[in-house]
Amino acid sequence: MSDALVIGAGPAGLMAAEELSRAGRRVVVAEAKASPARKFLMAGKSGLNVTRDEALEGFIARYDAGWLAPMLAEFGPVEVRDWCRGLGQEVFTGSSGRVFPKAMKASPLLRGWLRRLDGAGVEFRMRWRWAGFAGEGWRFETPEGERVLTPRVVVLALGGASWSRLGSDGAWVPWLRERGVEIAPWKPANMGLKVIWSPQMARHFGAAVKGACLRAGEVTSRGEFVVSAKGLEGGGIYAVSRAVREGAALELDLMPDVPEAEVAARLARMKPGESATNRLRKLGLSPVASALVMEWGRGQPLAVVKHLPVRHAGPRSLDEAISVAGGITRASLTEGLELRALPGVFACGEMLDWEAPTGGYLLTASWATGRWAGRAAARVG
């Protein structure tokens, strides 16, 4: 019988492995892909946002799961920054409050972390794909054929159900349900919106709309988003995506710093007979913002720039979402993130049922729950 098994080599799984090894456990990490932390590396390609520089109370309030509070209190924004520095990666806070490594990439941080895990004796089994149970054992498909492990303690860090090409495919759901674990249905989170564009929008694909205000129900976001062939995506959209997913109508204010009365006055001063495109240009709208007004506001007074309805076809697919809602329910877990139906088995990261916006919240919670589960698992005899 082996000692401690971690399934999944993403941020949550690696953190659990680190805590188990620190407690003196012999740790094996099984990973389905050929290399660890693929989604982590992909997320860091445009600048790795590790956490947020804000007070803990406000930080925790951004999650929809209050039961994460003690985990985030022990490993929140301050601890994440210190942990990065401990791996030789200094961090800085951007103007938006987001915290980044000075290198801006995930790879230097990951390399330092893997070296530390290797020094602690953590063993990795790459291309080991969990394939369900074999009696009381854990069955894996490996390059050498089927293997069955019977560890004393297991930490599951298998991710959610988005970005399946990087390993998070949700294939584990039926195996845990068969063993009595309750799992809430998956929903896309921090996702783009599908839009069926008219042909004239094609020239604007890839263009960013900056400085807009987005409103969906009671949620307001001031941010940037991108017009793509598939629809709308980017931070401004992600911030309102949950409200839209739950049925709220979405509208744009393309001139949020100018009162509506002033917009109307500027339009009134323009020469009669000018084209709508020229009037929008004189208002200061970018070509892509003007195109959106022509796409969704045609036939309406141009003051619609202050409340332009977004006509979309719903959320983009689950697999395209940045993250997911749903997963193993709180009721299925003990305080230590042990599965009530499977004593000695713990779970962490995105496979748990919680949701948060982008901006460092997702990664911090993955680390915090991995640390919490690893520490609890280390106490199992």
Question: How much is the pLDDT for 16?
Answer: 98
Banded model confidence at residue 105, pLDDT cuts 50, 70, 90: very high
In a domain, 315, yes or no: no
Task: Assess whether pLDDT exceeds 70 at residue 225.
Answer: yes
Question: How much is the pLDDT for 46?
Answer: 77
Rounded to whole angstroms, the Cα distance separating 373 from 155 reads 7
**Residue where one domain finishes, among candidates 260, 282, 309:** 309
Strands laid side by side in the 145-149 sheet: 129-134, 137-142, 145-149
Question: How much is the pLDDT for 1?
Answer: 58
Q: What is the pTM of this model?
A: 0.94
Q: What total of structural domains would you count in the chain?
A: 2
Strands laid side by side in the 123-126 sheet: 123-126, 27-31, 4-7, 153-156, 345-347
Task: Assess whether pLDDT exceeds 80 at residue 44.
Answer: no
Q: The domain containing residue 264 runs over which residues?
A: 193-309
Please give the average per-residue pLDDT across 111-128, as a whole number. Answer: 97
Banded model confidence at residue 43, pLDDT cuts 50, 70, 90: confident
Same domain for 202 and 183: no
Banded model confidence at residue 273, pLDDT cuts 50, 70, 90: confident
In a domain, 366, yes or no: yes
Please give the average per-residue pLDDT across 239-243, as a whole number. Answer: 96
Question: How much is the pLDDT for 259?
Answer: 96
In a domain, 316, yes or no: no
Task: Assess whether pLDDT exceeds 70 at residue 368.
Answer: yes
Task: Assess whether pLDDT exceeds 90 at residue 304.
Answer: yes
What CATH number does residue 13 fall under?
Answer: 3.50.50.60
pLDDT, the chain, mean: 96
**Residue where one domain finishes, among candidates 309, 329, 344:** 309
Task: Assess whether pLDDT exceeds 70 at residue 235.
Answer: yes
Tell me the DSSP string of 226-251. EE-SSEEESHHHHHHHHHHHTT--EE
Question: How much is the pLDDT for 45?
Answer: 79
How much of the chain exceeds pLDDT 90, in percent?
Answer: 94
Same domain for 274 and 135: no
Residue bearing the bigger pLDDT, 19 or 43:
19
Question: How much is the pLDDT for 381?
Answer: 80
Q: Are 183 and 327 in contact (CB under 8 A)?
A: yes
Please give the average per-residue pLDDT across 100-110, as a whole number. Answer: 94
Q: Which of 187, 257, 176, 249 is nearest to 217 (CA)?
A: 249
Task: Assess whether pLDDT exceeds 80 at residue 245.
Answer: yes
Same domain for 245 and 162: no
Rounded to whole angstroms, the Cα distance separating 256 from 218 reads 17
Same domain for 204 and 164: no
Same domain for 265 and 136: no
Rounded to whole angstroms, the Cα distance separating 40 from 370 reads 14
Task: Assess whether pLDDT exceeds 80 at residue 51.
Answer: yes
Same domain for 130 and 35: yes
Please give the average per-residue pLDDT across 244-255, as a whole number. Answer: 97
Task: Assess whether pLDDT exceeds 70 at residue 84.
Answer: yes
Please give the average per-residue pLDDT across 265-271, as a whole number. Answer: 93
Question: How much is the pLDDT for 272?
Answer: 85
Same domain for 259 and 210: yes
Task: Give per-residue pLDDT as tens, 186-214.
Answer: 999 999 999 999 999 999 999 999 999 99
Please give the average per-residue pLDDT across 340-351, as a whole number. Answer: 98
Rounded to whole angstroms, the Cα distance separating 231 from 316 reads 8
Banded model confidence at residue 56, pLDDT cuts 50, 70, 90: very high
Please give the average per-residue pLDDT across 36-57, as a whole number. Answer: 91
